[in-house]
């Protein structure tokens, strides 16, 4: 329903016009001062907002810097361990074959093999004892 459809009677319109000649009590509100103060509050609020935003950004930036400086340590390596076999190995220890034969022991082994193969004849001739050399056994007392 629009205003055009709602018509007051002539008598009501006449009274409306008569009432309309009355002026509401005049005011002297300082609108310019009010506007100035409101704009000042607006500016202050904007300033606070910007300061808060800047502070948050600074904190965030500091956090990023701290996190990136802590990242100089070497990155942890991920090693994969092969699963340990559950069955026991029956292979002989490799150390028996890996250790090199000492030169003196090689002579002994060679002599031993020769004795086993040829008997006592394989023993080398015993050198005659030299008169100037006396074998002595030192006891625990040092004598």
Partner 1 sequence: MHDIADLIALFRERASTLVLYARQWLPREQAEDIVQDVFAKLIERRQRVPGIAWLYRCVRNAAISELRSTRSRLQREQRIAGERSDWFDASPDALIDAARAAELIEQLPAAQREALVLRIWSGLGFAEIADVMNISTSTAFAQCQSALAELKKRLEKPCPTKT
Check residue 26 for interaction with partner 1 (CB under 8 A). Answer: yes
What is the distance between the alpha carbons of residues 119 and 113, in angstroms, rounded to a whole number? Answer: 10
Phi then psi dihedrals of residue 4, to 5 deg: -65, -30
Size of the site for partner 1 (CB under 8 A): 31
How many residues can be counted in the chain? 143
Check residue 137 for interaction with partner 1 (CB under 8 A). Answer: no
What is the distance between the alpha carbons of residues 38 and 30, in angstroms, rounded to a whole number? Answer: 12
Site track for partner 1 across 34-73, x = CB under 8 A: xx-xxx-xx--x----------------------------
Stretch that binds partner 1, among 9-17, 52-60, 75-83, 87-95 (CB under 8 A): 9-17
Write down the residue that tokens 């008598």 correspond to: 11
Task: Provide the CB-side half-sphere exposure for 79 (13 A, CA).
Answer: 3
What is the distance between the alpha carbons of residues 65 and 57, in angstroms, rounded to a whole number? Answer: 12
Stretch that binds partner 1, among 31-39, 47-55, 64-72, 99-107 (CB under 8 A): 31-39
The one-character DSSP state at 132 is T
Shortest approach of partner 1 to residue 62 CB, angstroms?
33
Nearer to partner 1, 45 or 112 (CB): 45
Q: Name the site residues for partner 1 (rule: CB under 8 A).
A: 1-3, 6, 8, 11-12, 15-27, 29, 31-32, 34-35, 37-39, 41-42, 45
């Amino acid at each position: 329903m629009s205003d055009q459809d709602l018509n007051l009677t002539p008598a009501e319109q006449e009274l409306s016009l008569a009432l309309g000649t009355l002026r509401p009590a005049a005011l002297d509100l300082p609108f310019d001062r009010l506007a100035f103060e409101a704009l000042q509050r607006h500016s202050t609020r904007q300033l606070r907002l910007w300061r808060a935003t800047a502070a948050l950004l600074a904190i965030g930036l500091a956090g990023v810097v701290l996190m990136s400086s802590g990242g100089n340590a070497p990155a942890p390596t991920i090693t994969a361990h092969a699963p340990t076999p559950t069955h026991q190995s029956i292979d002989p220890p490799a150390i028996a074959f890996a250790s090199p034969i000492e030169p003196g022991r090689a002579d002994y082994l060679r002599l031993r093999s020769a004795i086993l193969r040829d008997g006592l004849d394989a023993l080398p001739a015993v050198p005659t004892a030299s008169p100037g050399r006396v074998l002595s056994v030192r006891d625990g007392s040092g004598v």
